[in-house]
């Protein structure tokens, strides 16, 4: 009976191992469909920029003396979701158009510039010197 319990235990652990592998391979498949595998490092950079923007916004609010509201934190999470939808839509559109349009790269570049501008503006709120020419040039690149 003891051996039978060990065999059952092995099969249960094997089932958990296989189900976790299937789950994560499904996530990777969804990721590659919606975002493409070749731009993974760029997507990580965009996520880092969003995180930097949120952190510098919190620090700037502390410097200025503004209260940090949960509504603003929720807004950052919502922005993250919207950015993912925008990049995914650009990737899917890019994959349906013949030729080298590079919509996905353009969308990620636009969103990255937007986040960089926000980080620089937050640094200005903290009292650091912000080069106006750089900020103006980035706004020109963004088209604002």
With 0-12 / 13-18 / 19 or more C-beta atoms within 10 angstroms meaning exposed / middle / buried, residue 96 is: exposed
CB neighbours of residue 90 within 10 Å: 22
What confidence score (pLDDT) does residue 17 get? Answer: 66
Q: pLDDT (tens digit, 0 to 9) for every residue of the chain, 144 residues total? A: 576 777 777 667 766 667 777 777 777 777 777 777 677 788 888 889 999 998 998 899 888 888 877 777 778 888 888 998 898 888 888 888 887 788 888 898 889 989 998 999 899 889 888 888 888 888 887 775
Question: What is the three-state SS of the chain?
Answer: CHHHHHHHHHHHHHHHHHHHHHHHHHHHHHHHHHHCCCCHHHHHHHHHHHHHHHHHHHHHHHHHCCCCCHHHHHHHHHHHHHHHHHHHHHHHHHHHCCCCCCHHHHHHHHHHHHHHHHHHHHHHHCCCCCCHHHHHHHHHHHCC
What confidence score (pLDDT) does residue 49 get? Answer: 92
What confidence score (pLDDT) does residue 66 get? Answer: 84
What confidence score (pLDDT) does residue 115 get? Answer: 92
């Amino acid at each position: 009976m003891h051996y039978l319990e060990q065999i059952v235990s092995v099969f249960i652990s094997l089932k958990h191992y296989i189900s976790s592998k299937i789950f994560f391979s499904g996530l990777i498949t969804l990721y590659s469909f919606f975002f493409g595998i070749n731009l993974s490092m760029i997507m990580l950079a965009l996520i880092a920029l969003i995180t930097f923007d949120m952190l510098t916004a919190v620090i700037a609010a502390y410097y200025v003396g503004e209260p940090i509201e949960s509504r603003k934190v929720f807004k950052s999470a919502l922005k993250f979701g919207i950015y993912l939808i925008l990049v995914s839509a650009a990737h899917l559109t890019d994959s349906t158009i013949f030729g080298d349009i590079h919509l996905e790269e353009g969308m990620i570049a636009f969103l990255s510039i937007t986040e960089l501008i926000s980080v620089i503006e937050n640094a200005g709120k903290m009292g650091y010197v912000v080069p106006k020419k750089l900020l103006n040039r980035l706004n020109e690149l963004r088209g604002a």
